Structure 1
Amino acid sequence: MATLALLTAICFIVGLVCYASMSFVLNNRLNSDLVDSSYRTSTTFSVQTNLNGQSYATVRGIAIGTLIATVPQNAEATGGFVSDSRTGQPDGLQPFSAKDKKTITSIPSDGRFYDAHFDEGDYRLVSIPLSNGTSLITGLPLNDLNDTLATLISTIILVSASGLIAMGMVGTVIIRRAMTPLNQLSAVATKVSQLPLDEGEVNLAERVPTSAANPNTEVGAVGLALNRMLDNVSQALQARQRSETKVRQFVADASHELRTPLTAIRGYTEMLRMTENLSQSGEKSLSRVESQSKRMGAMVEDLLTLARLDEGKPLELADTEMTQLVLETVNDMKVALGDHRWQLDLPSDPFIIKADAGAIRQVLLNLLSNAAKHTDAGTVVTTSLRNVEGGMLRLGVRDNGPGIPKDFQSDIFDRFSRVDVARSGHDGTTGLGLSIVHAIVQAHGGKITLKSEPGDTEFMVDLPRGH
């Protein structure tokens, strides 16, 4: 468009110059012919009187269509338009109309050129004084000049428009072909931008084609640089994946190894309590050992769960009736934690989805226990089920507690993420519960989102219906 705008401006300037030049040449030529005709008319034009006393004009050697007139002082113009200059007879002049006589009479006799309109058309006139006190006016038609300039304008417009259209079409093809490598670069960059590079094993196979990675062209140099950058990113992602795999394997192995000593600690703790008479201080210490071993055992189980999810072990999918599952799970929480107000917002119709019932139950238990741990007694916790767009089922856990700090919400699903005095000041959590929830939901092809503000916090789990 910018190129066509520039070419349009150039065509306009060129056309304007051509028109001005042609107009200048044609007007000079017409003026020269008019001066010559005026001179010849002054030598051949005469007004005579016939036998009946009538005046008539004679003219010889003057081009057809020439205007000739004499204007005596305080008298009407005599003459007319030449219709046949070969005969020299009175009928060689077509007489003026009254309007034309008035126009001729108004032309000053100063030797300058004037344009005027007559019944016969537009004329350029020149008036020269004669020795007898009359003025001789000669005029040449402007039709040829105007027609030539009009034809020139039409030609310029037609040629310019045709050239601009052709240039637009050819230029579009050329520019598109020239920009094809850039389009390929854009397509590759777009595909890479849509890849999930933040976690998991990433196969970054997208590359700019060799034809668009030619270092001898500007676009090709960009394509080559993009390929080198993608190679570097791919190597970094592979190194990150290897490191994550080692860490996860270590966590899984360590968790398995920790199971045995933790079980032994709990066993010996129970044996000491049953076989030994402990002092009050010893009983307190033993209780502390037992509680911490249970806490470590829960952490080990959570780590093992995450390790299994990281390994991508297939879920045991089956038809799961979500309404009954939610009802049973919330009732279990009512028994275990009666200091909160547990409410249900469930439809009357059953919700059946394809899911691993045990995993989904764990998701709901973690969300409910998370709400209970981080809110004060008496807090209302509402569990709901409803359909949402895209054939998804939404499981919601909502409470009216103090809310989650804004700066922590983006990290809440990360492993070992724990906000200091998150909502009520209770501690003892491992920071893995919501990570497990996030991993299970992703394994089901769903997503979990959070919205929280003081007095209103809701975790929303969207799961595919699977039917």
Structure 2
Amino acid sequence: MDSFLTQQLDKQLGQASHLSNEAGRPQLGNPSGRPDPLEGRGQGVGTLIARISNGQVSSAGLLASDATRDSLSPGDEKALADLRHDGNPVDRTLSTGSYRLVAVEAPYGDVIVTGLPLAAKQNTLTSLVWTMVVVSLAGLVLIGLAGTVLIRRTMKPLEQLSEVATQVSRLPLDAGEVALAVRVPPSNAHPGTEVGSVGHALNLMLDNVSKALEARQESETKVRQFVADASHELRTPLTAIRGYTELMRMTENFTPDGRKSLARVQSQSERMTTLVEDLLLLARLDEGQPLKLADVDLTQLVVETVSDEKVMAPDRVWQLELPEEPVVVRGDASQLHQVLANLLSNARKHTVPGTKVVTAVMRSADGSAVVTVTDNGAGIPPEFVDRVFARFARADAARTSPVGSG
């Protein structure tokens, strides 16, 4: 583009040089007179013209915007006088700006220097550069937007696959009945494309997992039913054993060893009854029976439960920390009693005589009721904390009571 603009400027410069040469031609009948070539017609604003006679600048100036003549500095005149008179355009920087100059030796012996300002060419180049920059930036923005739209359209099926996988990852698959109904839409599960193959494989995997969960649920239901039936059926013979044992202890005379053996039978039958009751309770809980909600006085419940444990283990130090006002909550009294009795039972079974057990009832900052059972015993081993609430979990079966259970 610079070369093209230079060629156009040189063409204009050639025309201006021809006009200035004709304007500076001596008049007929007055060969010694030299008219000012800048006063010739057809020259544009900013045109520079100088006449060089015998190596000296005899006249020089440029056409101002108001059609007046502006003089050149001595330095500018010297620069013009030093130009070669070969008719080839050159660029020079003068005090008034940059010019494209050409020095031509006229037929009448003088050298006429003609120049046109380079400002128009430079402005055109600058405008062209900015235009290219703006167009390029706009093109990049459009390409970016089109690429974004195309990528989002391409990635949309993958986003749906990710959404399905995320929904499945949030389902509680570890226990209970799970309805695994989420699937990849058929439009994204066609094996004809890469994404469709992945979606089809994911649906097959979800179908397999769903069948496995149904089989597990069916197996758990059967086991739960068996435990409930077995526990219920065992209660009758165990009750009979305990009753006959108590009857024999009251009506028969035994030797000391016999009484010791009978007491052992009675204690083991009581232990077995406790285990059966626990199994039956777990089976009932697994059935998901609705809670019998009512207003429960936690303060009174704690007092009664601790009193029961105090009778069973008078060698522990049982303490209560209760608020002045009763703490009433909405809940199932039977279930709350079972939870509290289990905590206190563990504190009794897994501590040595003389251990202090503190049961506290309080209100938290958000108004919730909080019940804590704390003892100063050996504590729970760190490696057992993650399993402390698992069913029948024991930190060390060799050191715990044979009847202790989680």
Q: TM-score range by the shorter chain?
A: 0.7 to 0.9
2:127 to 151, 156, 170: 151
> Is 2:81 the counterpart of 1:102?
no
Deviation of the 1:305 alpha carbon: 0.3
CA distance in 2, matches of 1:116, 1:208: 74
Could you tell me whether the CA contact under 8 Å between 1:259 and 1:297 is conserved in 2? yes
Deviation of the 1:55 alpha carbon: 7.3
Task: Name the counterpart of 2:401.
Answer: 427
> Is 2:195 the counterpart of 1:219?
yes
1:68 to 21, 25, 49: 49
With over 3 angstroms needed to count, the CA separation of the structure-2 counterparts of 1:103 and 1:258, relative to structure 1, is farther
Q: Deviations over 1:82-110 (max 9, x none)?
A: 579xxxxxx99823243xx4345346536
Could you tell me whether the CA contact under 8 Å between 2:10 and 2:89 is conserved in 1? no
State the secondary structure of the residue aligned to 2:387: coil
Task: Name the counterpart of 1:442.
Answer: none
The structure having more radius of gyration, on CA atoms, is 2
Q: Deviations over 1:224-283 (max 9, x none)?
A: 222111111111111111111111111111111221222222223223333443333333
Task: Name the counterpart of 2:93.
Answer: 116
Q: Deviations over 1:310-348 (max 9, x none)?
A: 111222211111122123322333333233333333332
Q: Which amino acid aligns with 2:307?
A: N
CA distance in 1, matches of 2:370, 2:53: 108
CA distance in 2, matches of 1:159, 1:388: 66
Bigger CA drift: 145-154 or 162-171?
Answer: 162-171
State the secondary structure of the residue aligned to 1:144: helix
1:183 to 143, 159, 176: 159
Cα RMSD, aligned residues only: 3.8
CA distance in 1, matches of 2:361, 2:54: 111
Bigger CA drift: 177-186 or 408-417?
Answer: 177-186
Deviation of the 1:42 alpha carbon: 8.8
Q: Which amino acid aligns with 2:401?
A: D
Q: Which amino acid aligns with 1:195?
A: L
CA distance in 2, matches of 1:228, 1:77: 100
State the secondary structure of the residue aligned to 1:385: strand
With over 3 angstroms needed to count, the CA separation of the structure-2 counterparts of 1:279 and 1:242, relative to structure 1, is same
Deviation of the 1:295 alpha carbon: 1.1
Task: Name the counterpart of 2:342.
Answer: 366
With over 3 angstroms needed to count, the CA separation of the structure-2 counterparts of 1:238 and 1:92, relative to structure 1, is closer
CA distance in 1, matches of 2:190, 2:76: 77
Deviation of the 1:306 alpha carbon: 0.5
TM-score of the pair, normalised by structure 2:
0.82
Question: What percentage of aligned pairs have identical amino acids?
Answer: 49
Q: Deviations over 1:48-96 (max 9, x none)?
A: 79x9x99763266875243223568996673122579xxxxxx998232
Q: Deviations over 1:354-404 (max 9, x none)?
A: 211121011111101112222233333232333447764332222332221
Bigger CA drift: 254-263 or 338-347?
Answer: 338-347
Task: Name the counterpart of 1:203.
Answer: 179
Q: Which amino acid aligns with 2:75?
A: K
CA distance in 1, matches of 2:323, 2:111: 111
With over 3 angstroms needed to count, the CA separation of the structure-2 counterparts of 1:388 and 1:211, relative to structure 1, is farther
Could you tell me whether the CA contact under 8 Å between 2:24 and 2:34 is conserved in 1? no
- Equivalent pairs counted in the alignment come to 397
CA distance in 2, matches of 1:129, 1:400: 119
State the secondary structure of the residue aligned to 1:410: helix
Task: Name the counterpart of 1:412.
Answer: 388
Could you tell me whether the CA contact under 8 Å between 1:77 and 1:105 is conserved in 2? no
1:287 to 243, 253, 263: 263
CA distance in 2, matches of 1:385, 1:102: 104
1:60-459 → structure 2 map (5 Å cutoff): 63-64=43-44, 65-70=46-51, 78-82=59-63, 94-98=69-73, 101-106=74-79, 109=83, 113-116=90-93, 118-119=95-96, 122-125=98-101, 137-388=113-364, 392-420=368-396, 425-431=399-405, 434=406
Deviation of the 1:170 alpha carbon: 4.9
Task: Name the counterpart of 1:16.
Answer: none
With over 3 angstroms needed to count, the CA separation of the structure-2 counterparts of 1:132 and 1:410, relative to structure 1, is farther
Q: Which amino acid aligns with 1:95?
A: D
Could you tell me whether the CA contact under 8 Å between 1:109 and 1:128 is conserved in 2? no
State the secondary structure of the residue aligned to 1:286: helix
With over 3 angstroms needed to count, the CA separation of the structure-2 counterparts of 1:380 and 1:139, relative to structure 1, is farther
CA distance in 1, matches of 2:123, 2:171: 68
CA distance in 1, matches of 2:103, 2:363: 98
Deviation of the 1:415 alpha carbon: 1.9
Could you tell me whether the CA contact under 8 Å between 1:37 and 1:62 is conserved in 2? no
Q: Which amino acid aligns with 1:256?
A: H
Bigger CA drift: 55-64 or 400-409?
Answer: 55-64
CA distance in 2, matches of 1:342, 1:74: 126
State the secondary structure of the residue aligned to 1:320: strand
Bigger CA drift: 310-319 or 103-112?
Answer: 103-112
Task: Name the counterpart of 1:26.
Answer: 5
With over 3 angstroms needed to count, the CA separation of the structure-2 counterparts of 1:264 and 1:335, relative to structure 1, is closer
With over 3 angstroms needed to count, the CA separation of the structure-2 counterparts of 1:335 and 1:70, relative to structure 1, is farther
CA distance in 1, matches of 2:52, 2:303: 119
Task: Name the counterpart of 1:445.
Answer: none
